[in-house]
């Protein structure tokens, strides 16, 4: 056992495993015991993490991942053996599965990366089963397999927390009752499910790229995990799918800017402030490769939401500086996105580009038309954009009021500090 200094550091380690390893353990357990035991697998992992919180302050295991898996495995075995609903004819099959798990998992030799990555992707397809509504598929997968909380999922889907919590409970019940068995999908089945799986990977990447809460602006591990899974799909037999390749292109373009989005002190840097010499040229080249690969035939025949988003990101990556950005072309892409996939957030992001083309005054007029939308009225970025536009028009008092509201609504510490810095500059 390795030593840990404080309970605080142990809590951080357990939180890391909850966020980044629990999905893989759940996937592994359900692959062995069946998706109808998904809830038992979820409970077993939760109990293992609670046990870790109490045990690890006395010494963290040399292989924490294996420890979590072993404790969770033993817990689900005990639960299933005590479960009166398991009928006699299932006992032999259950014993075989228990024996197989016992042979494949030990405290010393388990490396989750080696044998769970395919299980995780299989479970994503299992959770994205067409018997569930699309929204339920997304909620279930983000909650169980991606480690996102109800609030994070709610923000991703522009819903309230209570609605997400209820939908999550219903989806778990439906999945358990349907007795779906996780399996590598056939090419035909993948075509039916792939779009929803890609949506999940996109939303997971987004939460990592611009974290909605917490201290860090970027949760790199979420971005890299979603990229890893997307790359597995790109390398699969159905990897020529235009939508899939466009998403991979988008991820590459965005990830290329990681090093420039915060300064050495962790403070947020706007697109205008970023040092473009730090942008990763190899990732930009990869993004261009996957973007070209995404054209199956004609652009307009294969174009998806991710094609438009990748084109936007690629346009920024190809601009040598902020001033040389083709804002009119970018605005045209936003118009295209609004026509095919309208949402309050897209509309708000479009207005930032609209201001670059038509000026702050016209953009503020357009922004006022969005003020009564329920979601935007409690969305911090609406007030942040409003504050910026008012500041450009030298309406300082109104700008300060808008920025103060944005600060009040912001849950990410890095973004909050950035807005506080802007507000302080106006007050001086």
Residue 35 lies in a domain: yes
Residue 3 lies in a domain: yes
Given this model, what pLDDT does residue 334 score?
Answer: 96
Residue 38 lies in a domain: yes
Given this model, what pLDDT does residue 1 score?
Answer: 47
Q: Has residue 340 got a pLDDT over 50?
A: yes
Please report which confidence band the pLDDT of residue 4 belongs to, taking 50, 70 and 90 as the band edges. Answer: very low
Residue 416 lies in a domain: no
Lookup: tokens for 24: 């893989």
Q: Has residue 183 got a pLDDT over 60?
A: no
Residue 68 lies in a domain: yes
| Number of domain units in the chain | 1
- Torsion angle of alpha carbons 230, 232, 233, 236, nearest 10°? 160
- Non-local (6+) Cβ contacts of 128 within 8 A are 137, 138, 141, 193, 196, 197, 200
- Non-local (6+) Cβ contacts of 69 within 8 A are 25, 28, 48, 105, 110, 112
Residue 39 lies in a domain: yes
- The SS3 call for residue 116 is helix
Q: For residues 236 and 4, give the distance between their C-alpha atoms in angstroms, rounded to a whole number.
A: 41
Under 8 Å between Cβ of 235 and 245: no
Q: Has residue 116 got a pLDDT over 60?
A: no
Please report which confidence band the pLDDT of residue 106 belongs to, taking 50, 70 and 90 as the band edges. Answer: very low
Angle at 141 between CA 54 and CA 103, to 5 degrees: 55
Given this model, what pLDDT does residue 132 score?
Answer: 82
- Non-local (6+) Cβ contacts of 390 within 8 A are 364, 396, 398, 399, 402
Residue 52 lies in a domain: yes
Residue 401 lies in a domain: no
Q: What is the DSSP letter of 133?
A: -
pTM score, two decimals? 0.81
Q: For residues 240 and 295, give the distance between their C-alpha atoms in angstroms, rounded to a whole number.
A: 9
The range of the structural domain enclosing residue 13 comes to 1-110
Please report which confidence band the pLDDT of residue 112 belongs to, taking 50, 70 and 90 as the band edges. Answer: very low
């Amino acid at each position: 056992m390795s030593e840990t200094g404080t309970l605080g550091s142990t809590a951080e380690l357990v939180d890391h495993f909850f966020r980044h390893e629990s999905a893989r353990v759940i996937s592994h357990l359900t692959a062995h015991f069946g998706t109808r035991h998904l809830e038992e697998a979820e409970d077993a992992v939760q109990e293992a993490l609670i046990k870790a919180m109490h045990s690890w302050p006395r010494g963290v295991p040399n292989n924490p991942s294996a420890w979590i898996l072993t404790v969770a495995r033993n817990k689900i075995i005990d639960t299933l053996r005590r479960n009166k609903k398991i009928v006699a004819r299932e006992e032999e099959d259950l014993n075989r599965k228990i024996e197989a798990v016992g042979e494949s998992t030990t405290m010393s030799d388990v490396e989750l990366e080696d044998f769970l990555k395919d299980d995780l992707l299989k479970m994503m397809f299992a959770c994205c089963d067409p018997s569930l509504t699309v929204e339920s598929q997304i909620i279930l997968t983000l909650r169980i397999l991606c480690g996102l909380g109800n609030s994070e999922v709610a923000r991703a889907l522009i819903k309230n927390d209570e609605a997400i919590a209820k939908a999550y409970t219903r989806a778990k019940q439906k999945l358990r009752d349907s007795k779906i068995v996780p399996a590598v999908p056939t090419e035909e089945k993948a075509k039916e499910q792939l779009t929803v799986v890609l949506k999940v990977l996109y939303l997971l990447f987004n939460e990592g790229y611009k974290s909605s809460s917490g201290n860090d602006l970027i949760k790199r591990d979420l971005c890299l995990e979603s990229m890893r899974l997307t790359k597995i799909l790109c390398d699969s037999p159905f990897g020529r799918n235009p939508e899939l390749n466009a998403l991979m292109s988008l991820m590459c373009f965005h990830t290329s800017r990681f090093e420039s989005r915060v300064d050495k002190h962790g403070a947020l840097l706007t697109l205008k402030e970023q040092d473009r010499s730090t942008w990763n040229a190899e990732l930009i080249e990869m993004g261009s490769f996957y973007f070209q690969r995404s054209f199956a035939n004609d652009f307009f025949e294969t174009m998806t939401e991710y094609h438009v988003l990748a084109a936007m990101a690629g346009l920024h990556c190809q601009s040598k500086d902020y001033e040389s950005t083709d804002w009119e072309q970018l605005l045209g892409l936003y118009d295209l996105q609004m026509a095919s996939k309208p949402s309050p957030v897209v509309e708000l992001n479009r207005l930032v580009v609209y201001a670059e083309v038509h000026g702050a005054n016209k953009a503020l007029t357009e922004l006022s038309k969005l003020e009564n939308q329920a979601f935007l009225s409690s969305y911090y970025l609406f007030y942040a954009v409003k504050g910026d536009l008012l500041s450009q028009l030298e309406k300082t008092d109104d700008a300060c009021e808008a920025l103060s509201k944005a600060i009040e609504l912001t849950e990410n510490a890095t973004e909050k500090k950035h807005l506080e810095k802007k507000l302080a500059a106006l007050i001086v």
